[in-house]
Amino acid sequence: MPELVTAPEVVKQQTIAEGKRRGHWGAVWRRLSRSPLFYVSAVLLVVMVGMALVPALFAPADPHECDLGDTLAGAGGGQWLGRDLQGCDVFSRSVYGARASLGIGIAVSLVTGALGGVVGAAAGYFGGPVDAVLSRITEIFLAIPLLLGASVLLTLFGSKGSGALTVIVALSVHGWPQVARITRSAVMETKQQDYVLAAAAIGCSRVRALTRHVVPNSLGPWLVVVTTNLGVFITYESIISMLGIGLRPPTISWGQMIHDAQARFLEAILPVLGPALFLSVTVLAFILLGDVVRDAIDPRIHS
């Protein structure tokens, strides 16, 4: 017969668990601060976020000031990436395109992270019928490829699909299942720890144990997948805009710029190369950050 856990022992176990959690995150930060890739990705992302927030500080010209007389003009005269088919400065439009592309990527990552985190945590912690129902729903959405599902939704929306909110909804509907599965696995592992069982032994409610003990100790895998998904969703937004079913003029985004310039790619490469370069650098920065965060959080790498 298992021994009963006394209140002092429970408090001691909870205190030790909280101390370990603080020590764990302190160790994570120390590993991050020693990684050169962390600073490289952080600097790149700070620059890109700065472009999204205050593009006028980075853009040499107004993105809406176009001269048809300079259609597809090459680089030179302060125009670092030349002009596009409408005679607009490609570099300036690429800078202003960061707002829509980054904004949608961050918004979708937050929505899918929150929805997937709640579903995964509930399924992993409560188990039984709750886990069975939520897992089946997750598998149904996982069976539909994200890009295909979002494209179908945006096509059904038709002309209404040009808004940023519609794009966010279309990507979020199919983007949360992966977060849910990873969160579920992390929660199922954490809820078997001694401090969680001790909290239950003294009458701590299941909801309180979930929010106070299980969730804080399951944030590592969730944080990694949400960070990595930032670059993934920026890429998906660019793809659907490039296909002509995402953001549309007058909104400026990297995907929409590539869509407008791809027909004249052989005549002028800079209108395609400019936004593609901004997109590649941003996605690379998020991928590097996700890899660094994963390596810093995963205890098996540093055991």
Number of neighbouring beta carbons within 10 Å of residue 240: 25
| Rounded Cα–Cα distance for residues 198 and 124 (Å) | 18
Residues 6+ away with beta carbon under 8 Å from 2: none
How far is 199 from 12, CA to CA, in rounded Å?
11
| Closest residue by Cα to residue 31 from 220, 212, 284 | 220
Rounded CA-CA distance 63/94 in Å is 9
76: left (phi over 0), alpha (psi -120 to 50) or beta: left
Topology adopted by domain 7-62+81-297: MetI-like fold (1.10.3720)
| ∠ CA 146-148-152, rounded to 5° | 115
Contacting residues for 133 by C-beta, under 8 A, at least 6 apart: none
Q: What is the block-wise mean pLDDT of the chain (303 residues), using blocks of 10 residues?
A: 47 51 68 86 92 90 82 74 84 91 92 93 88 92 89 77 82 91 88 73 71 76 88 90 83 88 82 91 90 73 48
DSSP one-letter code for 76: B
Domain ranges of the chain: 7-62+81-297
Backbone Cα Rg of the chain: 24
pTM above 0.95, yes or no: no
Taking the C-alpha atoms of residue 275 and residue 88, their distance in angstroms, rounded to an integer, is: 13
Burial of 190 (0-12, 13-18, 19+ CB in 10 A): buried
Residue 65 has what pLDDT? 84
Backbone angles phi, psi at 104, to 5 degrees: -70, -45
Compute CA 297 distance to the chain's CA centroid, rounded to the nearest angstrom: 17
Distance CA 90, CA 279 (A): 14
The pLDDT of residue 251 is: 83
The pLDDT assigned to 159 comes to 57
- Taking alpha carbons only, the member of 247, 221, 222 closest to residue 110 is 222
3-state DSSP call for residue 83? strand
